[in-house]
Amino acid sequence: MKSGRILVVGGGIGGLTAAAALGQKGFEVTVAERSDGTGVEGVGISQQANVVRALASLGLAEEYLSAGFAYEAVEIYAPDGALIARVPSRSLIEGYPASLGIPRPALHKVLHAAASATGAVIRNSAQVAEMVPSAEEVGVILTDGSSGHYDAVVGADGIYSQMRHALFPEVPPPQFTGQAVWRYNLPRPPDFDALHVYNGPTGVGLVPMSQTQIYIYATTPEPANPAYSVEGLAARMRERLSGCAPQIQEIAARIVDDAAVVYRPLEAIFLDGPWYKGRVALLGDAVHATTPHLGQGGGMAIEDAIVIAEELSRHDTPQQAFAAYRQRRVERCRYVVEKSLEICRGQLGQGPLIDNARASAEMNILLAQPI
């Protein structure tokens, strides 16, 4: 397919990257996003060298890097706060940093602008109301009243994917892991220049994401999968960090704004079977949602989007393209999901405690390979 009309369902990290990549390949793209486009979480995201490389391949590295904070190392700490190792991170592109922390709203803005620059039409507050596939096209009616006929549809609508359920209703829903993640933004100390990772039953990370901010994340056991109201979230997060290293307890004292705490139960899913049906394919969390222990959830969605655009531009039919896309991506994404779950289970006492320095080094070697 050298041209054609593509509908991308979902306007998050994967969907907007897909829109930008497909638009650069000459496709006419429409994005349907169920939110109004203003509700992007204000906390950050950590992205490794493979993601910097991927976005650089779309010509976005300068905008992307200027919106975040580049760092070149990971510091690993014992549960008591002792520094175990400072592990240098290797850049995959000469002249570019190895890793980047970036506020999610800033990343969304970069990707939204990139998609719009290619001519993509982005429809907010729009979901798929009806989808009628045929051998030649896919007819779609959206909830905003618009409709169209598309050569292919890409489902990038997240872990609770409507598109996954429509294609594969027999697939079980995402499974709760027994853990949740807590995130909060804090002022960045002047000398804070690396990702800090703390081992232990409560996994904690500190990520620089701008000249003025870092964010803290903590993965904690939440076996009953509780639903918490916003009121009291800051106190709950401080309590979860009360047994951590002294420097983490000191930071935790600054967690005071309930509304600024982002709390999410950790769920995961991996589709072993097909990732597409006919002219409709899935990417990102819709097909391989992972826990955040390796910091690669967003990165895998970005890589998926680039690969799917490449394969659609190389093959005569969407079916051929989608089969090639899955073949390129399945084992790489399986590794991220399974290794992240190993770390999760280790923190929960359901398996051996995984050494974060070793896990990060192994991941970096694998993900340095071409996508």
pLDDT in tens, 111-165: 999 999 999 999 999 999 999 999 999 999 999 999 999 999 999 999 999 999 9
The pLDDT, as a whole number, for residue 359 is: 87
Straight-line distance from the first to the last Cα atom of the chain, in angstroms, rounded to the nearest whole number:
21
Does a structural domain hold residue 345?
yes
Residues 355 and 320 sit within 8 Å (Cβ to Cβ): no
Q: What is the CATH number of the domain that holds 343?
A: 3.50.50.60
CA 82 to chain centre: 30
Among 20-29, 133-142, 284-293, 344-353, whose mean pLDDT is lowest? 344-353
Does a structural domain hold residue 93?
no
The pLDDT, as a whole number, for residue 209 is: 95
Say what percent of the chain tops pLDDT 70.
100
| Tokens encoding 14 | 């994967």
Does a structural domain hold residue 203?
no
- Residue 95's pLDDT band (boundaries 50, 70, 90)? confident
The pLDDT, as a whole number, for residue 288 is: 98
The pLDDT, as a whole number, for residue 364 is: 87
Average pLDDT over residues 330-353: 95
Does a structural domain hold residue 280?
yes
Work out the mean pLDDT of the chain and round it to a whole number.
95
Does a structural domain hold residue 135?
yes
Provide the domain limits for residue 310: 5-68+102-173+268-349+363-367
The pLDDT, as a whole number, for residue 145 is: 95
Among 19-28, 36-45, 332-341, whose mean pLDDT is lowest? 36-45
Q: What is the 3-state secondary structure (H, E, C) of the chain?
A: CCCCEEEEECCCHHHHHHHHHHHHCCCEEEEEECCCCCCCCCCEEEECHHHHHHHHHCCCHHHHHHCCEEECEEEEECCCCCEEEEEECCCCCCCCCCEEEEEHHHHHHHHHHHHHHCCCEEEECCCEEEEEECCCCEEEEECCCCEEEECEEEECCCCCCHHHHHHCCCCCCCEEEEEEEEEEEEECCCCCCCEEEECCCCEEEEEECCCCEEEEEEEEECCCCCCCCCCCHHHHHHHHCCCCCHHHHHHHCCCCCHHHCEEEEEEECCCCCCCEECCEEECCHHHHCCCHHHCCHHHHHHHHHHHHHHHHHHCCCHHHHHHHHHHHHHHHHHHHHHHHHHHHHHHCCCCCCCCHHHHHHHHHHHHCCCC
Is the pLDDT at 357 greater than 80? The verdict is no
Q: State the total domains in the chain.
A: 1
The pLDDT, as a whole number, for residue 63 is: 87
Does a structural domain hold residue 322?
yes
Does a structural domain hold residue 127?
yes
> Which of 1 and 230 is assigned the larger pLDDT?
230
Does a structural domain hold residue 147?
yes
CA distance 270 to 62: 33
Among 25-34, 129-138, 358-367, whose mean pLDDT is lowest? 358-367
Say what percent of the chain tops pLDDT 90.
88
pTM for this predicted structure:
0.96
Is the pLDDT at 361 greater than 90? The verdict is no
